[in-house]
């Protein structure tokens, strides 16, 4: 409230404008002569009252803005005006948005066919009510793909980054040096290929290529492979392989951000290279990379939508189906857009909390450097 | 028999010779202070002793074995040579106690209880036992460096190397670290210290070595070198450092 108080003038003006808009909307409503009743009279009276007060509030805030009067009375009027207009806006929002939505649900729940195209809100409500299981399944599929894909990608990314950061030392013998070079080369190629091509293309290639390769390699008919390698499993494989490339780079950044002295100190105590990396460098690298890893998960929630191309029944795919079922173009997509938005927002808030919790011991006391 | 014997040691970084033909013998229980201006190669010499830098030529014999031969187990060698760094390099992902017990458990395969009791004993030596559960980031520079010394001690090294241990500290924290190092020297530990603290060198060192441009220019007892240097460069360096 203290922060808001600085902008109270502007807020007052905006509230006045919103309340003015709604009151005009109410006063403009067309009414059938037969329907006029006591509630309508009350509504109109309230509308005029709100109209009057919002204009007054806006003028008052303009006066405050330009003449900057001081004094306790002005402050008190300002506060009263704020709460009055806030009340009007809240009431109208309740009336138009909440009641509108509730009314729509009540109206639509009895319908057997989708409402006409001009009734946008009702159409959306109808689709949600008629199709809830499929949307829910889509949500779970999207979450499963992105969560499992990110976790597997993280594990494989850890393996890949170990290959990526290998260095050839002068005391290595030739065979070791060659193996190291091959490892680095492979990881670089993998990362570049998967980051340099769109996931939608990777999805199609892997989905059609992998089963036939496996069938040839294992010498079994493709139909048998397809039984094991279901569409959703293929989806998880594709997301995992793609995420591996991105997270390997993220982890490499995390490792490079760890002070060189940490590895030196560990080596100077007699720990081997792998022991030093596992006990000292990697834990710090993962902590460094944690925000980017969380980010990758959120990106995956959105990016798994491209898997509809191979028929994975995630959210976008469900919306696409709804589009053809109801002959409505954008309504199903607005619904999934809202769902995606809620998913990404809640996960980013949850992961933010997690990060905060993990970083707690980093609270520092003043020190010499 | 000297515990460390360095012969004709050479090291270059990308064509620039940092160490040219270094010869040095260190007897057990000696405290050697390496002094010299920056870029003279003293830190590199120190880092060659535990092979954090691999020398280009020459030999280093530690405790009777040539450590530059292929057969030497580098990790085992390093457990016998403790090192303290300018920037402390405490493991940031571990507590103070975790810093001390990691290497004994992983390298010496010590049981946890034994490692902890040894760690606490070493923390007591440096006056840090009540900070065992703290995170390194919450410590002052002097406290960090004392923990780093305790960490090196938990491996029971035969030799301790100090690479400018007080250079990154605020002036008021230098004293506490030097105090710990003096106690260590008094306990008979063999130490090689790269330092700019001339008072420490004068008081504790058994030998002072002045390095310049990759060679040992002058060495001798601290009184000799610090009060009566023979070489012009040594005089110049001491004049500059004592003026500060």
Give me the percent of chain A exceeding a pLDDT of 70.
93
- Asked if residues A135 and A315 have their Cβ atoms less than 8 Å apart, the reply is yes
Residue with tokens 């795919």: A317
- Chain B contact for A274, CB < 8 A? no
Q: In terms of residue numbers, what domain contains A82?
A: 5-110
A367, B152: Cβ pair inside 8 Å? no
Q: Which of B81, B87, B91 sits opposite A280 (nearest CB)?
A: B91
A222: which 2 tokens? Answer: 């493709």
A62 in a domain, yes or no?
Answer: yes
User: What are the C-alpha distances in Å from A312 to residues A196, A277, A298, B53?
Assistant: 23, 39, 19, 55
B169, A272: Cβ pair inside 8 Å? no
| CATH code for position A209 | 1.10.3720.10
The minimum CA-CA distance between B148 and chain A, rounded to whole Å, is 9
Mark whether A260 and A343 lie in a shared domain: yes
β-strands B207-212, B215-220 pairing: antiparallel
Mark whether A256 and A319 lie in a shared domain: yes
Which residues 329-368 of chain A have a CB within 8 Å of chain B?
361-368
Residue B109 φ/ψ region, left for φ over 0, alpha for ψ in the -120 to 50 degree band, beta for the rest: left
Total Cβ atoms within 10 A of residue A263? 19
A267, B78: Cβ pair inside 8 Å? yes
- Chain B contact for A287, CB < 8 A? yes
Mark whether A242 and A316 lie in a shared domain: yes
Residue-wise pLDDT for A307-321, tens only, equals 999 999 999 999 999
Q: What strands lie across the sheet with B57-62, from one edge to the other?
A: B16-26, B4-13, B57-62, B65-66
- Chain centroid to Cα B200, Å, comes to 14
- Chain centroid to Cα A235, Å, comes to 20
A153 in a domain, yes or no?
Answer: yes
Mark whether A92 and A150 lie in a shared domain: no
Give the domain-ending residue among A110, A141, A157.
Answer: A110
Return phi, psi of residue A174, to 5°: -60, -45
B52, A266: Cβ pair inside 8 Å? no
Q: How far apart are CA A69 and CA B31, in angstroms?
A: 78
Total Cβ atoms within 10 A of residue A30? 4
Mark whether A222 and A83 lie in a shared domain: no
Q: How far apart are CA A331 and CA A128, in angstroms?
A: 10
A227 in a domain, yes or no?
Answer: yes
Is the confidence at residue A14, as pLDDT, over 80? yes
Please tell me the number of Cα atoms within 13 Å of A210 on its side-chain side. Answer: 18
Which residues 12-71 of chain B have a CB within 8 Å of chain A?
50, 52, 54, 70
Q: Using H for helix, E for strand and C for coil, what is the string for A46-67?
A: HHHHHHHHHHHHHHHHHHHHHH
Is the confidence at residue A3, as pLDDT, over 70? no
Q: Which of A264, A272, A362 sits opposite B137 (nearest CB)?
A: A362
A268, B78: Cβ pair inside 8 Å? yes
Mark whether A326 and A216 lie in a shared domain: yes
A261, B89: Cβ pair inside 8 Å? yes
A341 in a domain, yes or no?
Answer: yes
- Asked if residues A88 and A54 have their Cβ atoms less than 8 Å apart, the reply is yes
Mark whether A31 and A69 lie in a shared domain: yes
Helices (H), chain B: 42-49, 74-79, 96-106, 112-125, 141-153, 171-186, 198-204, 222-227, 232-243
Which residues 150-209 of chain A have a CB within 8 Å of chain B?
170-171
Mean pLDDT for A223-250 is: 92
Q: How does the average pLDDT of chain A come out, rounded?
A: 86
A120 in a domain, yes or no?
Answer: no
B75, A264: Cβ pair inside 8 Å? no
Q: Profile chain B (244 residues) by mean pLDDT over runs of 10 residues.
A: 92 90 93 91 93 91 89 89 95 94 94 94 93 92 95 94 92 91 94 92 93 92 90 91 77
User: What are the C-alpha distances in Å from A203 to residues A142, A231, A260?
Assistant: 15, 11, 39
Residues of B in contact with A262 (CB under 8 A): 89, 91-92
Mark whether A253 and A309 lie in a shared domain: yes
Mean pLDDT for A131-146 is: 92
Residue-wise pLDDT for A200-231, tens only, equals 999 999 999 988 888 888 888 888 888 888 89
- Chain A contact for B146, CB < 8 A? no
Confidence band, pLDDT 50/70/90 cuts, at residue A45:
confident
User: What are the C-alpha distances in Å from A288 to residues A293, A324, A359?
Assistant: 10, 46, 10
For A285, the closest chain B residue by CA position comes to B93
Mark whether A136 and A105 lie in a shared domain: no
- Asked if residues A292 and A253 have their Cβ atoms less than 8 Å apart, the reply is yes
Best of A286, A365, A368 to mutate (most B CBs within 10 Å, chain B): A368
Mark whether A205 and A323 lie in a shared domain: yes
A348: which 2 tokens? Answer: 């980013």
Mark whether A87 and A142 lie in a shared domain: no
The confidence score (pLDDT) of residue A4 equals 65
Q: How far apart are CA B243 and CA B185, in angstroms?
A: 27
Residues of A in contact with B77 (CB under 8 A): 270
- Chain B contact for A284, CB < 8 A? yes
Q: How far apart are CA B200 and CA B195, in angstroms?
A: 9
Mean pLDDT for A151-171 is: 91
A103 in a domain, yes or no?
Answer: yes
Q: How far apart are CA B171 and CA B178, in angstroms?
A: 11
The model carries a pTM of: 0.80
Closest listed residue to residue A183, CA positions, set A272, A117, A86, A248: A248
Give the domain-ending residue among A48, A75, A110.
Answer: A110
A123 in a domain, yes or no?
Answer: no
Residues of B in contact with A266 (CB under 8 A): 91, 102-103
The minimum CA-CA distance between B138 and chain A, rounded to whole Å, is 5
Is the confidence at residue A120, as pLDDT, over 90? no
Confidence band, pLDDT 50/70/90 cuts, at residue A110:
confident
Return phi, psi of residue B33, to 5°: -105, 125
Which residues 184-213 of chain B have a CB within 8 Å of chain A?
none
Closest listed residue to residue B205, CA positions, set B195, B214, B215, B213: B195
Q: Which of B93, B144, B155 sits opposite A280 (nearest CB)?
A: B93
Mark whether A195 and A102 lie in a shared domain: no
A55: which 2 tokens? Answer: 């204009």
Count of domains for chain A? 2
Q: Which residues pair with A147 in a beta bridge?
A: none
A368 in a domain, yes or no?
Answer: no
β-strands B207-212, B31-35 pairing: parallel
């Amino acid at each position: 409230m203290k922060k808001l108080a600085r902008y109270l003038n502007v807020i007052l003006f905006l509230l006045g404008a919103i309340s003015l808009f709604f009151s005009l909307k109410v006063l403009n409503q067309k009414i059938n002569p037969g329907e006029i009743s006591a509630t309508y009279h009350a509504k109109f009276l309230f509308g005029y009252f709100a109209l009057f007060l919002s204009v007054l509030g806006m003028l008052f805030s303009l006066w405050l803005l330009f003449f900057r009067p001081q004094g306790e009375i002005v402050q008190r009027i300002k506060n009263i005006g704020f709460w009055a207009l806030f009340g009007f806006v809240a009431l109208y929002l309740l009336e138009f948005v909440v009641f509108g939505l509730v009314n729509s649900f009540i109206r639509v729940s009895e319908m057997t066919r989708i409402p006409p195209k001009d009734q946008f809100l009702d159409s959306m409500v109808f689709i949600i009510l008629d199709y809830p299981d499929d949307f829910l399944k889509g949500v779970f599929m999207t979450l499963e793909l992105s969560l499992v894909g990110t976790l597997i990608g993280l594990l494989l990314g850890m393996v890949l980054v170990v290959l990526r950061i290998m260095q050839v030392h002068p005391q290595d013998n030739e065979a070791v040096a060659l193996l190291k070079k091959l490892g680095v080369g492979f990881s670089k190629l993998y990362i570049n290929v998967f980051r340099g091509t769109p996931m939608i293309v990777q999805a199609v290639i892997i989905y059609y290529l992998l089963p036939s390769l496996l069938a040839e390699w294992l010498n079994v008919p493709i139909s048998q492979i397809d039984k094991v390698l279901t569409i959703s499993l293929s989806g998880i494989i594709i997301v995992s392989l793609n995420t591996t490339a991105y997270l390997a780079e993220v982890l490499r950044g995390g490792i490079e951000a760890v002070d060189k002295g940490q590895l030196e100190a560990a080596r100077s105590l007699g720990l081997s290279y792998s022991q030093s990396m596992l006990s000292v460098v990697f834990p710090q690298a993962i902590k460094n990379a944690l925000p980017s890893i969380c980010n990758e998960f959120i990106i995956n929630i959105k990016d798994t939508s491209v898997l509809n191309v191979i028929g994975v029944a995630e959210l976008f795919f469900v919306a696409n189906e709804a589009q053809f079922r109801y002959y409505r173009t954008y309504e199903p997509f607005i619904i999934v857009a809202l769902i995606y938005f809620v998913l990404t927002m809640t996960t980013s808030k949850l992961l933010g909390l997690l990060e905060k919790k993990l970083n707690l011991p980093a609270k520092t006391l003043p020190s010499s450097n | 028999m000297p515990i460390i014997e360095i012969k004709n040691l050479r090291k270059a970084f990308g064509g620039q010779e940092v160490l040219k033909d270094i010869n040095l013998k260190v007897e057990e229980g000696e405290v050697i202070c390496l002094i010299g201006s920056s870029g003279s190669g003293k830190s590199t010499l120190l880092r060659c002793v535990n092979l954090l830098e691999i020398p280009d030529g020459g030999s280093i014999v530690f405790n009777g074995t040539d450590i530059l031969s292929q057969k030497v187990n580098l990790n085992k060698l390093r457990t016998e040579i403790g090192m303290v760094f300018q920037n402390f390099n405490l493991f940031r992902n571990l507590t103070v106690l975790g810093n001390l017990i990691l290497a004994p458990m992983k390298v010496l395969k010590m049981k946890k209880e034994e490692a902890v009791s040894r760690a606490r004993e070493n923390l007591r030596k440096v006056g840090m036992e009540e900070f065992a559960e703290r995170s390194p980031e919450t410590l002052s520079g002097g406290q960090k460096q004392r923990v780093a010394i305790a960490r090196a001690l938990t491996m029971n090294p035969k030799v301790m190397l100090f690479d400018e241990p007080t250079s990154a500290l605020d002036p008021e924290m230098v004293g506490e670290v030097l105090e710990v190092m003096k106690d260590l020297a008094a306990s008979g530990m063999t130490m090689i210290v790269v330092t700019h603290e001339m008072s420490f060198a004068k008081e504790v060192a058994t030998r002072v070595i002045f390095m310049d441009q990759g060679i040992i220019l002058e060495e001798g007892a601290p009184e000799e070198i610090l009060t009566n240097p023979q070489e012009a460069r040594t005089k110049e360096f001491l004049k500059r450092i004592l003026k500060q």
